[in-house]
């Protein structure tokens, strides 16, 4: 079923791809894509798998706007060196659009003083404005990304302009990050705070979470709530240990902490670790701890689960899991696994590897990214009968 796109630059912008389809049709297309990806891996999708969704628009809590000679915007669809500008991004939440308006006004007022980075010549200063706005709180940030290789005087001049922006902006946190001219990053770990702090707050149900302005956090807080409650229901309770692998700031590990006597958040992000430890304290999660985890050295974690009844929460990056991580999981053999994935193809491939010891007992889909092709899935995997708790 067709629909009238809400955005006037739909089709030109490289962001949305489904605004010309009714949301119900989008869900059908995404469900079929998941089913096809799983079937290619030899895994049929269970009938009646639920599909969770919230609003069709106004959901994103982060947007990375690239600067061109006309101001902040996005790249044109399929054209890295061409840009499209607009007054409002309809899939972004109100806080992001408010900040975008401020950045655009600041850019226009100072246009003669601003040197926009040329992506072809690799020259200029101003590159990105990465805007974040927490959905359930009023916290927000703008990070201006500048060309690290620009002349010192030019960088200092732009720092001054950004300081002026921060003094007038309604955003609570303003930062500056530097990236080399031959890279295309829109976030950096060592961003400098101009105003406010480097962390944002979000509230998910009874929990408060800090996350880094430059780090990962789920882009759709409302649907993340659905995912957390689904995971908590399917996790159950009575475990000795819960492992939140690829745990980031500890969202799943802290939200599901009552499922086990002990919960461990494991990740390799330094900014994630700082936030996870803050979140453990903030939520009085005395049974939760953080462990540094390297995907290529997972064996170091194995002793933590020896002889224990365990459940693993897996939320790997889009590329899926490293083969050594997969071996670690199969060797540790937790009683139950809840696998969260934003890539149905890799989900199918990883489930095929896990199927030697696990059966899929439940599945749900989450429309984390309406108006786009992307979809998030969660599968529940239970260890097959007759297998010992620890593999030999």
Beta carbons within 8 Å of 196's beta carbon, 6+ residues apart? 141, 171, 172, 173, 174
Alpha-carbon span 37 to 350, nearest angstrom: 12
pTM listed for this prediction: 0.94
The pLDDT value given to residue 238: 97
> For residues 179 and 145, is the Cβ–Cβ distance under 8 A?
yes
Domain 62-203 = CATH 2.40.50.1070 = yes
Asked whether the predicted pLDDT for residue 387 surpasses 70, the reply is: no
Asked whether the predicted pLDDT for residue 391 surpasses 70, the reply is: no
Alpha-carbon span 87 to 102, nearest angstrom: 11
Average pLDDT of the chain? 94
Asked whether the predicted pLDDT for residue 389 surpasses 50, the reply is: no
Q: Which residue has the tokens 């869900």?
A: 27
Task: Name the nearest CA neighbour of 212 among 181, 248, 186.
Answer: 248
Q: Starting at the edge strand that comes first in sequence, how are the strands of the sheet with 173-179 ordered?
A: 79-85, 71-76, 62-68, 126-133, 140-147, 173-179, 192-195
The pLDDT value given to residue 81: 85
Taking residues 347-357, report their average pLDDT: 94
Burial of residue 157 (CB within 10 Å: 0-12, 13-18, 19+) is middle
DSSP H helical ranges for 19-151: 23-40, 94-109
Q: Give residue 386's pLDDT band: very low, low, confident or very high (50, 70, 90).
A: low
Taking residues 343-349, report their average pLDDT: 94
Class of domain 30-54+220-383: alpha beta
Same fold, 30-54+220-383 and 62-203: no
Taking residues 342-355, report their average pLDDT: 94
Give me the residue spans of the domains in the chain: 30-54+220-383, 62-203
């Amino acid at each position: 079923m067709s629909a009238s796109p809400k955005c006037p630059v739909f089709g030109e912008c490289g962001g949305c791809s489904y605004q010309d389809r009714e949301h119900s049709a989008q869900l059908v297309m995404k469900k079929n894509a998941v089913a096809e990806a799983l079937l290619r891996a030899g895994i049929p999708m269970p009938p009646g798998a639920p599909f969770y969704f919230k609003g069709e628009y106004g959901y994103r809590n982060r947007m990375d706007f690239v600067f061109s000679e006309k101001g902040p915007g996005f790249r044109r669809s399929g054209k890295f060196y061409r840009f499209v500008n607009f007054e409002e991004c309809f899939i972004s939440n109100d806080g992001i659009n408010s900040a975008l308006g401020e950045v655009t006004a600041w850019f226009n007022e100072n246009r003669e003083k601003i040197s926009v980075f040329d992506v072809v010549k690799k020259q200029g200063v101003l590159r990105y404005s990465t805007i974040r706005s927490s959905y359930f709180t009023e916290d927000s940030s703008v990070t201006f990304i500048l060309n690290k290789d620009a002349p010192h005087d030019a960088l200092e001049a732009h720092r001054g302009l950004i300081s002026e922006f921060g003094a007038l902006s309604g955003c609570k946190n303003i930062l500056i990050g530097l990236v080399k001219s031959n890279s295309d990053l829109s976030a950096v770990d060592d961003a400098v705070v101009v105003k406010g702090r480097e962390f944002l707050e979000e509230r998910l149900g009874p929990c408060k979470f800090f996350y880094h302005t430059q780090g990962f956090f789920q882009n759709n807080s409302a649907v993340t709530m659905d995912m957390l409650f689904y995971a908590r229901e399917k996790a159950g309770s009575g475990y000795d240990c819960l492992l939140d692998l690829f745990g980031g700031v500890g969202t799943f590990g802290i939200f599901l902490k009552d499922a086990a006597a002990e919960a461990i958040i494991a990740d390799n992000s330094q900014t994630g670790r700082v936030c996870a430890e803050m979140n453990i304290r903030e939520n009085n999660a005395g049974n939760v701890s953080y462990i540094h985890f390297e995907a290529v050295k997972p064996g170091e974690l194995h002793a933590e689960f020896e002889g224990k009844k365990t459940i693993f929460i897996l939320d790997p990056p889009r590329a899926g899991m490293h083969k050594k991580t997969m071996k670690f999981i199969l060797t540790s053999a937790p009683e139950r696994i809840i696998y969260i994935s934003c890539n149905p193809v890799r989900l199918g491939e990883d489930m095929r590897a896990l199927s030697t010891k696990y059966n899929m007992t439940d599945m749900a889909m989450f429309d984390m990214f309406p108006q786009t092709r992307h979809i998030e899935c969660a599968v529940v995997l239970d260890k097959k009968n007759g297998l010992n708790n620890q593999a030999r």
